[in-house]
Chains A and B, each alone.
Chain A
Amino acid sequence: MKKSLLLVVVLTLGLGVIPYLGLPAFYQSLLYMVFHWIALATSWNLLSGYSGYFSFGHGAFFGIGIYTTAVLTSQFDVPFLWTLPIAAAMAALFGVVLGVISFRVKAVRGELFALLTLAATFVVATIVLNTPIDGGPGVYLSAVPVPSIGPSPSATFYYLALGAAFLTVVIALLIYYARFGTGLFAIHDDEDVAEVMGVPTFAYKVAAFALSCALAGGVGGVHALFVSYVTTGDIFTVLLPLTVILMSVLGGTRHWAGPAVGATAITILLYSFTSGDSAVLGKVAMGVILIVVILFMPEGILGGLLKRFARKPAAGPSAADAARFGQASSAGGATPSPSAAGQAQGGPSGKAGTQGHDGGILLSARGVSKSFQGVQALRGVDLDVQRGEILGLLGPNGSGKSTFINVVSGHFPLTSGSMTFDGKKISGIGAHRIAGCGIARTYQIPRPFAHLTVLENVALPAMFGAHQLERRRAEFEAWHWLEFTGLADRAFAVPEDLNLHQRKFLEFARALAAHPQLLMLDEVLSGLTPSEIDEAVALIQRIRAQGTTILFVEHVMRAVMALCDRIVVFNQGEVLAQGLPAEVMARPDVVATYLGKPAESPPQPPEPAGARAYA
């Protein structure tokens, strides 16, 4: 990261000399356009490339910046440079309002968000056109005084655009390497899972949107005086966001430098064609490039190159990290976690001896109900999880087991009832805050972040969740959990390359990396072969040996009987029975739920036979 930052600074300083070289004015205006588009494309990428919320509203934010500066300089005689922060602030304000409204609606993602922002552009344009902000004929700005920076009047704009591009790229770079950036990338891949792992998705999206808008607004402010005559028809078009998207996608949206690369390439390409009499040819070339890149290089120039020339780091944490963070070597599978953070919280790690129930209720659910448009998935569930136990959650398909996990983890909000965890109320709060309390879960169908490596997938919950470790530290921890689950040699693979068994273990590793007090496992054994199940059972025993409380949803009765201290049986969204495994499984009503009522003979299967029947 420091190298990248240095590169950007050196490049900017180098470009800063150009106005003093006495080159033809043509070069300055070409470079102005390059910087202009770099700033616009990179600012777009902060929200859209990183988090996957493709905005078609960049024209609106840019336009708000343009008109803020235009109105303030022409009608209120505010000095040009002072209008730039105001232009940025106005655009950011609009972005925050739009974001707060649209991000509340869960379904407005992907194409719907794109359309919403496009529609917002036209609404803004209509208002600007029909009010004194513009009024119809456009705004002339040629009389507005422009302070001179550098050797010539045109150098002012050169430096302002260079400054905007520098600022935008540096912000993109810093976010890329920061916790904020990691959170945005997780949102891109699977927003619901990111939230459940502790990423404050709503706040992150609004913040990224505001930042993206502010930068676009600032660029707009500069551009207003550069073109010196502004009209709504030229500014609020669908063409501006499309061009910005084209540049970013061409360069690669998943890298901080991607949009800058794409913007430079496209601007120079278009310029070299318009300088001749071949503007049409330039357009054709742009179209062809876009098509070819999407078809053959969907990750963009930079994405493709980085993939091809990526250096594979050696497996395992670096020696420096090991020296910094870990006293013990993390090689042995059963070594307790080296995390100090976990211990500070009185959490699971390091206390290998805390077996069984050391008493006290960890999670308490009272009258928890959940309905999906008339379907009652949970009807008033009362359930307590004791600290330190393995509680098995059983029941036929559709009895509400997974829904219960989804409600506790905050994946679904509950319809009524209340839940407390460790004495704190957790019902009605955001899923990321529930994760912050120390609850982690796995998904029945593994939902890894598709574009992150296995290592990054596991490090993420350690960076968010309850402990908020910084990245290096979190990755060091992640190595430990990868070894714990036997995935260390796949650390740099992407989830797509893992088999089902490995993906299930990745789910495990991710949940463990959060250092949860309560770990909820949703059918982690289904689909595994008998020998894989034995491995997994041993793994769960090791997790519990570290003192973690486990809520365990499972159909594989062999594992349930081997692992659980207590079991709870759900039926049709209600608690049917709870108690010791052998006793509960012998109850006639429980047997009836699973197997139906016998035709004539009374229900009599003794416990072992009954247990075998479900295996």
Chain B
Amino acid sequence: MNLPSSTLLAQSILAGIFTGALYGLLGLGLSLSWGMLRQINLAHFALAFLGAYLTYQFSTSGGVDPLLTLLMIIPAFFVVGLAVHWVLTRFKITPFNSLLVTFGLTIIIEAVLQWIWTADYRRLESTYAEHKLQIATVYLPVPELITLGLGLGISLIAWQVLRRSDIGKAIRAAAEDAPIAAAFGINQQALGLLLSGINASLAGIAGVCIALSYTLAPSQIYSWIGVVFACVMLGGLGRPMGPIVAGFVIGISEAITMAVASPSWAPLVSFSLLIIVLLARPERIQA
């Protein structure tokens, strides 16, 4: 085990921040739907990959700028989120069963992705990937910078909206005690639909970011579940800044592990961290 040079260390910390931002962006929708709506939405990952594949397709065959696809993906996914929420509430699904139902949805989406785009690896060749900023000796790739900007920006907005706006306060009140909130005139069903739609749109945005920086394969859906759930739990359910802060912590610790030991040791850090938090501070995690 050799200590890496300072440049390598700085570069890996940066890489950790970039992956952390994507963890956070993926985790945000998950955390809000779990914490506020008591739905554990596994299909969030499948939706993100659907978004990534759509971005890939529009860019390669239509020449559409990946960021412009957001204009289409955000409203379309919003509608998908509405539909999923409507079904889950219509059947009064328990949190655990919501996990199973959305797992079923994940399998279906995965199969559709595989049917359309095959199981082969796909890589988006965008103009963004060619650009890199250089500060001193470290490089900042543009796609990752976009992810970082989106992740931080959206998390901050979500935080402020939930904290300050009337609608944010209503959502938090309904999450804390639905019957009482309803008695004070809060339309929980409408808020739930709105939040689910936003969460699905967040999955779509995360999908665009995935397409910008990662190689796509349908089976990759499952490789994100563990670590993103770790971020959601570490960050505390329903806290909008939680996933991205936890994402930075996990991303950086993973990146340093990769630099100091080897890439294959990286999962040990994040999951040990999760286990320790679960056992030592379980009250922090409960919504």
Contacts and interface: CB of A to CB of B under 8 A. Distances in A.
A595 to B, nearest CB: 30
Contacts of B139: none
B101 A290 contact: yes
Interface in A109-132: 110-112, 115-116, 118-123, 125-127, 129-130
B100 A246 contact: yes
Contacts of B267: 122-123, 125-126
Contacts of B40: 111
A73 to B, nearest CB: 24
A112 B268 contact: no
A373 to B, nearest CB: 10
Given A111-B40, A115-B229, A242-B103, A287 B96 contact: no
B121 to A, nearest CB: 15
Contacts of B282: 105, 107-108, 112
Interface string A276-315: 0000110110111111001100100000000000000000
A575 to B, nearest CB: 32
B100 A287 contact: no
Contact of B230 (A119, A246, A249, A291): A119
A557 to B, nearest CB: 31
B222 A245 contact: no
A122 B286 CA distance: 22
Contact of B226 (A102, A136, A238, A242): A238
Given A101-B279, A112-B285, A295-B91, A119 B226 contact: yes
B271 interface: yes
A116 B229 CA distance: 11
Contacts of A287: 104-108, 111
Contacts of B99: 111
Which has the most chain B C-beta neighbours within 10 Å: A54, A107, A289?
Answer: A107
Contact of A290 (B104, B230, B262): B104
A239 interface: yes
B275 A116 contact: yes
B103 A246 contact: yes
Interface in A248-280: 249, 280
Contacts of A330: none
Nearest to B97: A294
Contact of B268 (A123, A245, A249, A291): A123
B264 interface: yes
Contacts of B265: 126, 130
A295 B272 CA distance: 35
A238 B228 CA distance: 13
A280 B111 contact: yes
A291 B104 contact: yes
Interface string B32-69: 00000000100000000000000000000000000000
B279 A102 contact: yes
A237 interface: yes
A130 B101 contact: no
A290 B103 contact: yes
A294 B95 contact: no
B217 interface: no
A288 B100 CA distance: 11
Interface string B252-285: 0000000000101111100110110011001101
A102 to B, nearest CB: 7
Given A125-B267, A290-B101, A295-B91, A119 B274 contact: yes
Interface residues of A, number: 43
Contact of A122 (B262, B271, B285): B271
B116 to A, nearest CB: 10
A111 B101 contact: no
B101 A291 contact: yes
Nearest to A250: B100
Interface string B200-227: 0000000000000000000000100110
Contacts of B103: 242, 246, 290
A105 B279 contact: yes
Contacts of B262: 130
Contacts of B87: 295
B111 A284 contact: yes
B111 A119 contact: no
A121 to B, nearest CB: 8
Nearest to A237: B222
A450 B87 CA distance: 25
A107 to B, nearest CB: 4
Given A119-B230, A287-B108, A107 B286 contact: yes
A107 B91 CA distance: 28
Given A290-B101, A291-B101, A294-B101, A284 B107 contact: yes
A127 B268 contact: yes
Contact of B264 (A107, A119, A126, A238): A126
A41 to B, nearest CB: 14
A287 B279 CA distance: 33
A543 B59 CA distance: 79
A237 B226 CA distance: 9
B30 to A, nearest CB: 12
Interface string A91-115: 0000000000110010110111001
A119 B101 contact: no
A294 B271 contact: no
Contacts of B100: 245-246, 249, 290, 294
A54 to B, nearest CB: 7
Contacts of A283: 107-108, 110-111, 114
B277 to A, nearest CB: 10
A239 B103 CA distance: 10
Contacts of B225: 238
B112 interface: yes
A263 B241 CA distance: 41
Nearest to A116: B278
Contacts of B271: 119-120, 122-123, 126
Contacts of A295: 87, 91, 93, 101
A115 B96 contact: no
B233 interface: yes
Interface in A209-243: 237-239, 242
Which has the most chain B C-beta neighbours within 10 Å: A111, A121, A127?
Answer: A111
A126 B279 contact: no
B105 to A, nearest CB: 7
14 contacts: A105-B282, A110-B95, A111-B95, A116-B275, A123-B272, A123-B275, A283-B107, A283-B110, A283-B111, A284-B107, A287-B106, A287-B111, A290-B104, A298-B97
Given A116-B279, A126-B266, A298-B97, 17 more contacts: A115-B230, A116-B278, A119-B274, A122-B267, A122-B268, A127-B268, A130-B265, A238-B225, A245-B100, A280-B114, A281-B111, A286-B107, A287-B104, A287-B106, A288-B108, A295-B91, A295-B101
Rank and list the top 3 A-B pairs by shortest CB-CB distance, nearest first: A290-B104, A107-B282, A287-B107
